Amino acid sequence: MSLSPAQLLRSRLVPPISAITAYDYPTARLSDEAGIQLILVGDSLGMVVAGNPDTTTVTLDHMVYHTEMVRRGVTNAVVVSDLPIHTYDDPDAALISASRLMAAGADAVKLEGGLGQIGKVKRLTLSGVPVCAHIGMLPQRVIEEGGYRKKGKLKEEADRLLEAACALEDAGAFAIVLESMVAEVAARITEAIEIPTIGIGAGTECDGQIRVLHDVIGGYPWFVPPFATVYGNVAEVTREAVASYVKDVGPQEVI
Ligand code: KIV
């Protein structure tokens, strides 16, 4: 029996799964060359690339443009693109939007939310579009939720997250991002489902980890999330290189 597109993608993800966001050709190519397993063209680009306070202004056209750039830079990693807010309000819209991201070069799409998204995940999966789910803190809902908050502290909320993860797996999701949730809840979910969990701010007991590229390389010094480990100093290197160039050009004439 041949594997479905979702099963094929899953077979390329070997725990512990390393995943990172990338938004353009050089960051995608460098990440791919460094051996990352999964590259997410995240709608976090609205923040770390475009300088907005959250992801809610990102459009499908933005995501198509950035997915094309990332695709050109990737040879090995699985490329997943985010469906931006209000581009998947119902199953038909989800399929139309996802088809544009797939045509731009994505191997799969990601959407945010739990039980409310089951119909859309089923529709996409049955149409041959692999779906990565995303539960816990949902950045696209940050305005209605009034800020970023760790999820799963109350038993009812933890149980709901577990129920959503199981339902998303049943609906056909090939993987699931667990964002900003109590580590024990993420561990429980990872234990309960077969598809890989990829955590961010969700403890170490997931099948993999995902981070925003700029947090890893030190490329966005104005805000660093508390759970981020910064491995590089791209901001400082950039400032120093540009300052050296400015110095080389010579003293500025004041007009
Ligand atoms: O857009 C993004 O970068 C994400 C990650 C935080 C998982 O969804």
pLDDT under 70: residue ranges of the chain: 252-255
Q: What is the DSSP string of the chain?
A: -PPPHHHHHHHT--SSEEEEE--SHHHHHHHHHTT-SEEEE-TTHHHHTT--SSSTT--HHHHHHHHHHHHHH-SSSEEEEEPPTTS-SSHHHHHHHHHHHHHTT-SEEE--BSGGGHHHHHHHHHTT--EEEEEES-GGGHHHHTS---B--SHHHHHHHHHHHHHHHHHT-SEEEEESB-HHHHHHHHHH-SSPEEEESS-S-SSEEEE-HHHHHT--TT---TTPPP---HHHHHHHHHHHHHHHH-PPPP-
For residue 21, give the ligand 1 atom closest to its CA. 3
Please name the residue whose Cα sits nearest to atom 8 of ligand 1.
42
For residue 42, give the ligand 1 atom closest to its CA. 1
Quick: pLDDT tens for 101-119.
999 999 999 999 999 999 9
pLDDT score, position 148 = 83
CATH of 5-249, one of 3.20.20.60, 3.30.230.10, 2.40.30.60, 3.40.50.620: 3.20.20.60
Would residue 194 show up in a list of annotated catalytic residues for this protein? no
Q: Two tokens at 163?
A: 């129920």
179, 194, 240, 253: the catalytic one is 179
How many angstroms is it from 111 CA to the middle of ligand 1?
A: 10
Domain ranges of the chain: 5-249
For residue 43, give the ligand 1 atom closest to its CA. 1
pLDDT score, position 149 = 87
Query: Which residues are near ligand 1 (CB < 6 Å)?
Result: 21, 40, 42-44, 82, 177, 179, 200, 210, 212
Residue pair 26/10 in contact (Cβ under 8 Å)? The answer is no
pTM score of the predicted model: 0.96
Q: Which amino acid type is present at position 2?
A: S
pLDDT score, position 239 = 98
How many angstroms is it from 165 CA to the middle of ligand 1?
A: 17
